[in-house]
Structure 1
């Protein structure tokens, strides 16, 4: 199958803080080990909001940079040495491609690559340190590209990064999850993905805590056995304890990203249990760490969708054990990016994951 590839394409470019423009720029060419993809869908993520408003370390210069790291599409050309993919393949990407040569990458921790942002060393983070997917075409290294199963749409496939982050958090929490009680704080896209992942892996109780009843209700449909609206109860931690015979949850996933959520999390964790920090925190967190030490609670963190968890996410989606449809709430064409961003940031019309279709 041959695709006619134009010289120019439409792309969003960041010209400065809060200055995103739709422009024409050259279609990129795939280098060795890379594929050129005709982008069909690119999701808006909270990290994109941070990039738009404040920029990001190691990102390309203003006036050139196309962001977007949750994208999917069709391979239309391949670079030298590429035989893993062929023209016509439907693919989704994960954002992080480690350098492959530092100690962390050799250990498989490529989302914590020691050469982050070093293009000369081979590191790439799509839509962060190199151009991303809010464009008609984008290139990606084959190390971070996955074929999309036939029963998953392009829009759904953009969800693999979000689901991959959630599965990485579960992965990092260690060992079996079957039979455990899991607490998820924050019913946003990643929190709801943790709920689905925990259900797929056999958690006995899945408690979802948050402030928005519509999202808690969605969580119940996606697998939460219990929900706690912190605006409607006097003591959310006491509610967790009542559901766990006073022990707390073996695993807590903090997806809220604030001091209150952090405090609820540590106080709800079983002695000797694990709390995984999945969120980025906008401000420094104040918490009673004596409680953590005295109760031997392990605090772990994850960044991104490491350890090939996008591949696992695609598999669980294809099996019907993770459902992207309830979370992918809105879609807009590339020309209406600003409208889509407004819906995402201000949660208009119940917006959760918003997809842009170039």
Structure 2
């Protein structure tokens, strides 16, 4: 089938506004792949992009930029040098494509590319520095796409992008999670998936801390041995008591709450590891003397780097992940404003809010 000349796409307007419009269809360069997007989901970064707080310089001109960095679809065209994928392949995207020439990229840390935002060097961040997947079609570098197993549907596939972030967080550890006591702060999509992955990777115990009972209940189904409502009990005390007074080997801070960093440090055992995964809205105060005096290491991660999305797909292919259970809402592309508001206001327990960009074919039976 011939490709159209134009497509429907979501574009940023003035700060706080977003809408659909008609844009020219992007054309693949030699190393590019054009994807017909089936599903795309929202995350907290998209809210910052809509408000333009994400952009240090105020961002692109209204009506020109397409957000969206979590999406999956079907390949409809490939560049002349691409032989890794074929038309008809079902794929999920990795948001970050480093320049692949700086020292960070060459060592596998392409989410920390030293040429971030400099398109002429080869760097791309879908929906953040270049147009993304809130559109009928999206252009990707071939290295940022992964073929989907037949058993993984598009809803599940899109959420695998978030699993990639979780896998990247666990990559920072010096050892496997097998036998480790793990505490996770923040039962949003990242925290809930971190719970599920820790269970699948053999953690000895998993504590999940949050303030919303419904989300904590999901965490219990995903493998949390202890759920702590921090509005009702002291989370640090609960985690330390559950770990025989020693503290957790690994603490993931996924909430982005300013007070949670200090709590995470106090949940960790001596020589434990704290990984900061959430993004913070304001400067954080924490007792770093406690970390220094107890040999606690602090790491940070951004996105799904170091090939972590491929490992998430491998787990999903074996039926070890239930990512589609986090999808709570579906909206048509034209209803994107309502989708954003639903996600931002957490209406009806919203977790992962999905845009159904197109429906025709490609979904496993």
- The TM-score, its normalising length taken from structure 2, stands at 0.95
Is the 2:19–2:336 Cα contact (8 Å) retained in structure 1?
A: no
SS class of match (1:62): coil
Give, in angstroms, the shift of residue 210 of structure 1. 0.4
Q: 1:24 aligns with which of 8, 22, 25?
A: 22
**Counterparts of 2:242 and 2:195, CA distance in 1:** 17
Is the 2:37–2:135 Cα contact (8 Å) retained in structure 1?
A: yes
**Counterparts of 1:165 and 1:254, CA distance in 2:** 13
- Partner of residue 294, structure 1: 293
**Counterparts of 1:60 and 1:103, CA distance in 2:** 29
Is the 2:207–2:224 Cα contact (8 Å) retained in structure 1?
A: yes
**Counterparts of 1:193 and 1:158, CA distance in 2:** 13
Superposed, 1:32-111 pairs within 5 Å as: 32-54=30-52, 55-57=54-56, 60-111=60-111
- Partner of residue 188, structure 1: 188
SS class of match (1:22): strand
**Counterparts of 1:303 and 1:134, CA distance in 2:** 21
Structure 2: which 5+ residue stretches go unaligned?
A: 358-365
Q: Which moved more, 1:299-308 or 1:253-262?
A: 253-262
- Partner of residue 360, structure 2: none
SS class of match (1:266): helix
SS class of match (2:320): coil
- Partner of residue 309, structure 1: 308
Structure 1: which 5+ residue stretches go unaligned?
A: none
Q: Which moved more, 1:289-298 or 1:309-318?
A: 309-318
**Counterparts of 1:260 and 1:118, CA distance in 2:** 34
Is the 2:18–2:336 Cα contact (8 Å) retained in structure 1?
A: no
Is the 2:247–2:269 Cα contact (8 Å) retained in structure 1?
A: yes
Matched, 1:201 2:192: no
- Partner of residue 357, structure 1: 356
**Counterparts of 1:33 and 1:312, CA distance in 2:** 23
**Counterparts of 2:174 and 2:160, CA distance in 1:** 21
- The TM-score, its normalising length taken from structure 1, stands at 0.97
**Counterparts of 2:115 and 2:286, CA distance in 1:** 32
Number of residues of Structure 1 aligned to a counterpart in Structure 2: 355
Is the 2:19–2:337 Cα contact (8 Å) retained in structure 1?
A: no
**Counterparts of 1:265 and 1:8, CA distance in 2:** 49
- Partner of residue 259, structure 2: 260
**Counterparts of 2:265 and 2:309, CA distance in 1:** 28
**Counterparts of 1:291 and 1:259, CA distance in 2:** 17
**Counterparts of 1:329 and 1:15, CA distance in 2:** 26
Give, in angstroms, the shift of residue 57 of structure 1. 4.3
- Partner of residue 2, structure 2: 4
Is the 2:330–2:353 Cα contact (8 Å) retained in structure 1?
A: yes
SS class of match (1:270): strand
Matched, 1:138 2:123: no
- Partner of residue 213, structure 1: 213
Is the 1:187–1:208 Cα contact (8 Å) retained in structure 2?
A: yes
- Partner of residue 236, structure 1: 235
Is the 2:159–2:324 Cα contact (8 Å) retained in structure 1?
A: no
SS class of match (2:194): helix
